[in-house]
Amino acid sequence: MRDFVYDQLPTRVVFGAGAFDRLADEADRLRLSRLLILSTPGQAKLGGEAMRRLDSRALSLHAEAKMHVPVETARAARAKAHELGADGAVAIGGGSTIGLGKAIALETGLPIIAIPTTYAGSEMTPIYGLTEGGLKKTGRDPKVLPRTVIYDPLLTLGLPPKIGGPSGMNAIAHCVEALYAENANPVTSLMAEEGSRALAHSLPLIAADPTDREARGDALYGAWLAGIALGAVGMALHHKLCHTLGGSFNLPHAETHTIVLPHATAYNADAAPDAMSRIARALGAPDAARGLYDLAAKIGAPLALKDIGLKEQDLDRAAQIATQSPYFNPRPVTRDGIRRLLEDAYQGRRPA
Ligand code: NAD
């Protein structure tokens, strides 16, 4: 057994079909009675549902969350919370909305109740992201970690497979990198393997029938475990590449993760054999990288960077940006190696 350090983060989790109805009780438990509700414009109706459940504890709905949390959006939400005298916020939606909640918590220390409706996992991490002048900066601060997370699979029934499939693959990416993280530990690895298993099992069922409640529950459970893994240990090459592609080339977050994951996994295969066998076991596949590719194909997710907006002439610059500052990865990161990886991901080749 290797020595390890494990940080247990203090979030309360309320999980189950119908758990959304416990929102007011959870607010009372935190002694919050002046809540600002956050959502995207597209999920304003759901934000209204949260208002209704909170009754007099809800001050106002702020349906202005945007992808990658632009600083102006964060400032406006903070000003609104201040103006209304909010004592907390409820973030209901995907990673973008929860990111807006975190941006409020970062500056004000206000407690956040998160109600995730995708599989991104942000609700379980102390990581925040803010975008200014086209540059996304991320940081860690325990203040931004939601106090309570309500996972209700019924809220994901309307998540279209086109968004939900890649979002689930994004969650599996957290698990894969947790298994070979520099500070991997036995507890996080258990969660990462179980999270991958739950997602790999449920995503094809959801693709076939988006109203499958049992599968929706399994996927959200997997996403919870993946979020814990993401928050507990450091990520490596895969997340670095996706951050570069998203930030510098404006590619969509979850789709980019879906496409790059099999190739980043193949790149690290020989350097992380234990992680590979655990991933393969979770997928029920003979090989981790090919298993991930086949899973993405099976759920109808995109497989090639050329299909989501990357240009062939961007590959050199992407490889250069992704290799210019050093970071941990099980296999040394070389510019040529990353250029080849990106070429395979660009073309959408099945890992050899
Ligand atoms: P998102 O929050 O941008 O949501 C995508 C779209 O789907 C939005 O329009 C949203 O309104 C809609 N949507 C969400 N749930 C829905 C549902 N159940 N039914 C119908 N529509 C729904 O996407 P995401 O993938 O959840 O989050 C991505 C963002 O989260 C990125 O900015 C990423 O960097 C960030 N993120 C942060 C962390 C962290 O730890 N800080 C972790 C993961 C992701």
CA separation for the pair 261, 269 (Å, rounded) = 12
Pocket test for ligand 1, best of 96, 124, 156, 167 (most atoms within 8 A of CB): 96
**Nearest atom within ligand 1 for CA of residue 125:** 40
Same domain, 124 and 191: no
Residue for token pair 């106002």: 60
Q: Do residue 80 and residue 210 come from a single domain? A: no
Q: Return the half-sphere exposure (C-beta side, CA atoms, 13 A cut-off) of residue 310.
A: 34
Q: Region 223-244: what's the mean pLDDT?
A: 96
Q: Strand, helix or coil at 200? A: helix
The protein residue with its alpha carbon nearest to ligand 1, atom 19, reads: 159
Q: Which atom of ligand 1 is nearest to the CA of 231?
A: 40
- Using the 8-state DSSP alphabet, how is residue 236 labeled? -
CB crowding 319-348: b at 16 or more within 10 Å, else e:
bebbbeeeeebbeebeeeebbebbebbbeb
Q: How do residues 115-158 score in pLDDT, each as one tens digit?
A: 999 999 999 999 999 988 877 789 999 999 999 999 999 999 99
Tokens in use for 205?
């069922």
The mean pLDDT of 27-52, rounded to a whole number, is 98
Give the predicted TM-score (pTM) of the model: 0.96
Q: 232 C-alpha to center of ligand 1: Å?
A: 20
For residues 46 and 195, membership in a common domain is answered with: no
> Is 303 domain-assigned?
yes
Q: What is the pLDDT of residue 252?
A: 92
CB 5 within 8 A of CB 184: no
Determine the pLDDT at residue 133.
82
Instruction: Tell me: do 120 and 182 sit in the same domain.
Output: no
Nearest CA to ligand 1 atom 36: 95
Domain region containing 152: 12-156
Residues 122 and 64 in one domain: yes
Same domain? For 218 and 246 the reply is yes
Provide, rounded to the nearest whole percent, the portion of the chain with pLDDT above 70. Answer: 100
Domain count, the chain: 2
Can you tell me which atom of ligand 1 is nearest the CA of 40? 11
Indicate if 187 and 307 belong to the same structural domain.
Answer: yes
Choose the final residue of a domain: 90, 125, 156. 156
| pLDDT number for residue 86 | 98
